[in-house]
Structure 1
Amino acid sequence: MPDPVPARRFPTRARRIAATLLVALLALVAAPATPARAATGGYFHGTYTNLAGTRDYHGYLPSTYRTGTPIPLLVALHGCTENDVGFDLLTGLSALAERRGFLVVFPDQSTFANPAQCWNWPLSINQHRGLGEPSIIAGITNLMRSRYTVDPARVYVTGVSAGGVMSMIMAVTYPDLYAAAATVAGCEYECDVLRLRTPDQAGLDAWREMGSRARPVPVLVFQGGADLVVPPVTADRIVGQWAQTDDLAIDGRDDDDVTATPTLVERGQVPGGRSFTHSIHRGPDGTVLIEKYLIDGAGHVYPGGCWCSLYGDPSGPDASGLSWDFFVAHPRA
């Protein structure tokens, strides 16, 4: 599943540092006016290794962080032909982390693991807890938790395209770690690109994968209505999978506590930009569990993405800001 953003590979540590500094510069240019202390927030980078492999990462710690005061954490996963730095540029998440006061980390897929830098979501080993790339991403997440004072109830995951598929896998395999998840141009758990299996079947498999850790996971879905890479109907498959998974996670019964039929559908319009359809699915207690944005005329792009990326779509709704609003409203109980 290709990602829209051209590859930006930095084979040496010096180039990676230079690229991170570029992210910082563009974040300062693109961000609205903030107090002077915003410039003291810090970028960091490192390498994580476990039995499944080694991956680089970089992240941003906001200037408001104080050791001992719990802070939310967002794990952000890039798409194919992209890397961690490019995804930061595209989404503006480091600048948003400074403004909104959360820690963000960007795991980087290795070209040795995949020459196109795709997360290898089609492989079965990468669809289960404690194995493959999910174990690496969870490991980086837990490294951040050990290094900083992270609120365990406010750890989230998001991604675009191949990273969006992986964000859904992470929400299924580690529901005890991630409070909520978002995906842009992603796919349902086990991603049946031929659509031979129903979303309900994927939802049942996801619930079984959760095992004793099963819980209703709130999920936010973005999809372009003119996407030629990921068919727009895929967004409905994601919703259908999570409706079934969350329904089963509530009480272990397939009794339509959550359904693929939205509770509310509303139209929206970005001033001077794209129109979209916003669908909301609630649980039996009225809690919002699933939201979907289907964006009119948008292709395989990141909605609201930076003008500095060829595939950013500034005319779309602000996926980064909307995702963080969704996350704030969904801490893990």
Structure 2
Amino acid sequence: MSVSSPDRPARTRFRRAVTALTIALIAALLPAVPARAAGGSYFAGVYVSLTGTRDYHGYVPSSYRAGTPMPLLVALHGCTENDVGFDLLSGWSALAERRGFIVVFPDQATIVNPAQCWNWPLGTNQHRGWGEPSIIAGITSRMRSQFTVDSRRIFTTGVSAGGVMANIMAVTYPDVFAAASIMAGCEYECDLLRLRTPDQAGRDAYREMGSRARPVPVIIFQGTADLIVPPVTADRIAGQWAQADDLAADGGIDDGDVDATADEVIAGQVPGGRSFTRSVYRSTSGSVLIEKYLIDGAGHAYPGGCSCSLFGDPSGPDASGLTWDFFLAHPKV
């Protein structure tokens, strides 16, 4: 539950002005930065609850009409980033204008993490109704109250620490998020020493889902030369979701409807850029539940991200565009 903040109007006006000015200045100085089309609008706010306070900003496209449901994306930045920087890196606001969806960027507070990482290692941040998942879910709920949101098309994405948190959000709030995109993240509960199997992570994820359990489609991106997140982590995420989705599909029965062996492996190439391997995992009914992109030679960076950021890799596949294609194919049922 959110509560009002006495200085919220002033802070919101200030943040909205700073956000708009920052994006406008960078767009003017760096023509390569994706710019929003005329007619849409940025917004900003402060979410305050018993579990914490976070700023956020977002974008509403010019095609939005109150009363007509529109998809919503919750986008989570990585360490040493903020919400505005991640918007520029990923191009999500520009894509929202072109393809017709609302996007909101929660911002991690430096007071709770000086490096601006989401605090995913803390147990309180791995469960529904607690810590940062509760705050992010609260911001999502606020978007649903302020705009006409399509409840079947609410998605979450994140990179690095934000990718870990996007995974956590899909596990803890499967009734809210239809699908998730995880870039350079890790499996649920993130076993850095890899002492637990992906199946164990999947069983824990299924238990966390509780009565809300359902197969959640996910798309995963990982660079093969990432020195921060070992490339094998992408397989662990796929394994976690294969197990969780298999259990969720049949009320907790582990019958192999979804498994961690890819049903299709496709080689791809960005013209003039990186090669990659796309692995597709299907249920026995033929529906695609997991896609995994391993990007050859890519480091700890956002695939297809803007060159205006240290974390952008323009030579990689367009992760934002591929993510949105995947999301549109997977509304919540």
Shorter-chain TM-score category?
Answer: over 0.9
Do the aligned residues in 1 keep the contact of 2:15 with 2:44 (CA within 8 Å)? no
Do the aligned residues in 2 keep the contact of 1:27 with 1:92 (CA within 8 Å)? no
Do the aligned residues in 2 keep the contact of 1:240 with 1:259 (CA within 8 Å)? yes
Aligned pairs for 1:171-320 (under 5 A) are 171-251=170-250, 252-320=252-320
Aligned-residue offset at 1:283 = 1.0
Name the structure 1 match of 2:332.
332
Aligned pairs for 1:61-140 (under 5 A) are 61-140=60-139
Do the aligned residues in 2 keep the contact of 1:218 with 1:290 (CA within 8 Å)? yes
Separation (CA, whole Å) in 2 of partners of 1:33 and 1:159: 21
Q: What secondary structure sits across from 1:89 in the alignment?
A: helix
Separation (CA, whole Å) in 1 of partners of 2:173 and 2:12: 32
Separation (CA, whole Å) in 2 of partners of 1:213 and 1:124: 20
Do the aligned residues in 2 keep the contact of 1:168 with 1:188 (CA within 8 Å)? yes
Do the aligned residues in 2 keep the contact of 1:156 with 1:181 (CA within 8 Å)? yes
Separation (CA, whole Å) in 2 of partners of 1:316 and 1:26: 22
Do the aligned residues in 1 keep the contact of 2:239 with 2:259 (CA within 8 Å)? yes
Do the aligned residues in 2 keep the contact of 1:27 with 1:94 (CA within 8 Å)? no
- Alpha-carbon spacing, 1:210–1:33, altered in 2? closer, same or farther (3 Å): closer
Q: What secondary structure sits across from 1:309 in the alignment?
A: coil
Name the structure 1 match of 2:146.
147
Aligned-residue offset at 1:15 = 6.8
Letter aligned with residue 186 of structure 1: G
Do the aligned residues in 1 keep the contact of 2:59 with 2:96 (CA within 8 Å)? yes
Separation (CA, whole Å) in 2 of partners of 1:201 and 1:52: 29
Q: What secondary structure sits across from 2:44 in the alignment?
A: strand
Letter aligned with residue 247 of structure 2: L
Aligned-residue offset at 1:19 = 3.8
Aligned-residue offset at 1:31 = 7.4
Aligned-residue offset at 1:21 = 3.0
Aligned-residue offset at 1:58 = 0.1
Aligned-residue offset at 1:26 = 5.2
Q: What secondary structure sits across from 2:188 in the alignment?
A: coil
CA-to-aligned-CA distance 1:275-306 (integer Å, 9 cap, x gap) = 00000000121110000000000000000000
Do the aligned residues in 1 keep the contact of 2:27 with 2:35 (CA within 8 Å)? no
Do the aligned residues in 2 keep the contact of 1:27 with 1:95 (CA within 8 Å)? no
Identity of aligned residues (%): 75
What root-mean-square deviation, in Å, do the aligned CA atoms of Structure 1 and Structure 2 show? 1.8
Question: Structure 2: any 5+ residue segments left out of the alignment?
Answer: 1-10
Letter aligned with residue 122 of structure 2: L
The alignment's TM-score, normalised by the length of structure 1, stands at 0.93
Name the structure 2 match of 1:160.
159
Count of aligned positions: 320
Do the aligned residues in 1 keep the contact of 2:206 with 2:247 (CA within 8 Å)? yes
- Alpha-carbon spacing, 1:27–1:281, altered in 2? closer, same or farther (3 Å): farther
Separation (CA, whole Å) in 1 of partners of 2:79 and 2:291: 25
CA-to-aligned-CA distance 1:171-228 (integer Å, 9 cap, x gap) = 0000000000001100000000110100000000000000000000000000000000
- Alpha-carbon spacing, 1:211–1:282, altered in 2? closer, same or farther (3 Å): same
Separation (CA, whole Å) in 2 of partners of 1:141 and 1:32: 25
- Alpha-carbon spacing, 1:239–1:33, altered in 2? closer, same or farther (3 Å): closer
Q: What secondary structure sits across from 1:39 in the alignment?
A: coil
- Alpha-carbon spacing, 1:210–1:314, altered in 2? closer, same or farther (3 Å): same
- Alpha-carbon spacing, 1:48–1:297, altered in 2? closer, same or farther (3 Å): same
The alignment's TM-score, normalised by the length of structure 2, stands at 0.93
